[in-house]
Structure 1
Amino acid sequence: MGRLAELAGDGDDEKSRTFVFEDEGHTLGNILRSIINHYPDVEFCGYTVPHPAESKMHFRIQAKKGRAIDILRQGLEDLSKVCDHTVHTFEMAMEDYQDQMQLNAS
């Protein structure tokens, strides 16, 4: 993942923040938005890619309670767990497939 910054202009309210992800786009934005929108403390979560020529994504979180940065951190941790599970499931399926191919070849 690229660099992460906060967009200026959000003021002192830690419940609402817009984060800027450098070198990221719809792939990260869509799945992260999907995960975070399921959290009960989230009032709004969305993202935009301001321009196709720029390699950045703006990610907005508005919380009912808590800090937006903590919600983002939890979302990234949960996304990492989903990715780990996906890789593990794929590897197990590949092992099963290879075992079946060896049995069929015998």
Structure 2
Amino acid sequence: MEHGSITNNSHATFTLTEEDHTLANAVRFVLNQDPRVTVGAYTIPHPSHEKVNIRVQTTGDPASEVFKDACQELMQINRHVRSVFDKAVTAYKAEEERKAKEAEEELKRQRELFGSMDIESN
């Protein structure tokens, strides 16, 4: 829900229900990176209500457009983080498989070495 001025669309407050600090702080961060934003802040009216109010004031651009752009930028950041994370997990699993295979081969080599020793002849 958007609360704003009819005469000046460069500032507005957006209410997001069923959200908390997690999303609100991320959106606030992205908003404040935008040079069009003069104020990007959020409040939580009451801890028992799952609701946040995000305040956007701009240098002249419509606040709703800037807010939408910030949300899209946050989605791109999240996609990038997820991509990097997935690649790191894949690399870690591949390295663990390689280490396990090396350990198995070393154990096999040691068994063959000890199996070829003739203990009774010494």
TM-score, normalised to structure 1's length?
A: 0.91
SS at 2:76's partner residue? helix
Alignment of 1:1-106 (within 5 A): 5-7=1-3, 10-106=5-101
- Distance between the aligned counterparts of 1:46 and 1:73, measured in 2? 15
- Distance between the aligned counterparts of 1:24 and 1:54, measured in 2? 9
TM-score, normalised to structure 2's length?
A: 0.80
Structure 2 regions of 5+ residues with no counterpart? 102-122
Bigger radius of gyration among the two: 2
Q: Which has the higher helix share?
A: 2
Number of corresponding residues = 101
Structure 1 vs Structure 2 CA RMSD: 1.0
Q: Which has the higher contact order (CA 8 A, sep 6+)?
A: 1
Residue identity (%): 28
